Chains A and B, each alone.
Chain A
């Protein structure tokens, strides 16, 4: 697809002034010598929710991990192509991945609070970064933003792992918010949660959208259509014996779900995939 046509459409239709946080051009990621995704190009608009959908193994998580350079930590992973963050090349030689990650928070599929108290979980980021802040205040505001404060304010000393799954996930969001990131990446954040917790997290995302750019990977079509402004549909193609992921279509969520330009997208969002 042509990224220019998308941005053209965006500029005329988007209600918010559009600036792009990330711009990817011809991004390919390899594990060892096998390409996992090839030639992805897209632009992630600021202060909106961008959803990645697509069948399992098409490289959604892989692309997501490029944004905060956590692929660097996977042995054998290699990234090719261009990825800019506010116009700066994220993979330039002089970029320190550690300082990149501080601006780009991540929430994972399985809630994974550290085996520490609720307070220490949230305070972990500011502490390791040596932020000169009032920790009590940061913990309180982060937990409030993550809509968890009322449930835990009397037991901040208890282990984060003693909370329910949904609460743990909100704790992980609070933990990410505590370092005042610019972007939040979420990799299937609700897939281990019940519908009520899922709904709470979705509401939370809509609220956070005011101040943060959010990229979410989800297998839940309703979720993508409910929360996201932009949707990227990835698919997987058989090249020889390799399954290689690719970006099929990237557009506003209404367009992807109601009037996609590709047959494959239509089949997938209508559940006729496979």
Chain B
């Protein structure tokens, strides 16, 4: 912001007379407009962060984080440690499902299938999937898994994985397309096959960008309650059974936010704060990793 402001100032000093006045005004106006947009954006973001932090920090203590069952309605005694573990279980399942399929699909799109009918079809379905509401992903997993074997962390992972799939495919494909075509030709020109080129040159070169995309997809999915409502459902108690219902942070936040008991509402705030912190930590780590590997 300050950079562009200073730049405009200097421009004025140097040769204001040679610039048509209308250009000068529209330039100032547009600069003002873009600064305004940035301010509005940052303000609303920090408002959300501040609100969540203010309310959430009350109940955010070691006791709540490590308690492994929810308090009974209206009571204080309990926490949401098991919901953190449940969220991690669901997200790991989603990652295990969506990362390999997503990365392989993206490799096909950018390396092997460019211009083919199948690639077009995959891209098209991917775009459609991006527009599918999260709750439908939940319904899908409900129909496919839950009706057969009941609520489970596993089915929640499937729903979340389906939700993440298009994001993973897109970001990975973009990362792969950033690798210069010359690099591929150079590798192929040395007599390596396209498979070797993909494995040894393209993927390692794109790795930092791919990892960033994966983390973003995971972070985005971490906060989704909709796909979990009728898949991993809820559990008031500790459970590490992948094939049984588990508590998760977004679902906890949703349930506790809408019941009329103060302690539960406060827990919902705390859960939201923990969720935010997890996303923040994950994206910071990914940035760090990317920065490290670039050197």
Contacts and interface: CB of A to CB of B under 8 A. Distances in A.
A248 B180 CA distance: 32
A99 B196 CA distance: 14
Given A70-B189, A75-B115, A102-B190, A112 B183 contact: yes
B290 interface: no
Contacts of A98: 188, 191-193
A105 B114 CA distance: 25
Given A110-B182, A112-B180, A128 B189 contact: no
A17 interface: no
Interface stretch (B165-173, B200-208, B261-269, B273-281): B200-208
A185 B187 CA distance: 14
Contacts of A99: 191
A195 B180 CA distance: 26
A77 to B, nearest CB: 11
Interface residues of B, number: 21
Secondary structure at chain B's binding surface: helix, strand, loop or mixed?
helix
A194 to B, nearest CB: 20
A112 B186 contact: yes
Contact of B191 (A73, A102, A109, A116): A102
Given A70-B189, A102-B191, A125-B191, A112 B182 contact: yes
A98 B187 CA distance: 11
A48 interface: no
A76 B184 CA distance: 17
A61 to B, nearest CB: 11
A73 B190 CA distance: 14
A125 B190 contact: yes
A106 B187 CA distance: 10
A116 B186 CA distance: 14
Given A114-B201, A124-B200, A129 B189 contact: no
Contacts of A114: 183, 186-187, 201, 205
Contacts of B115: 75-76
A109 B180 CA distance: 12
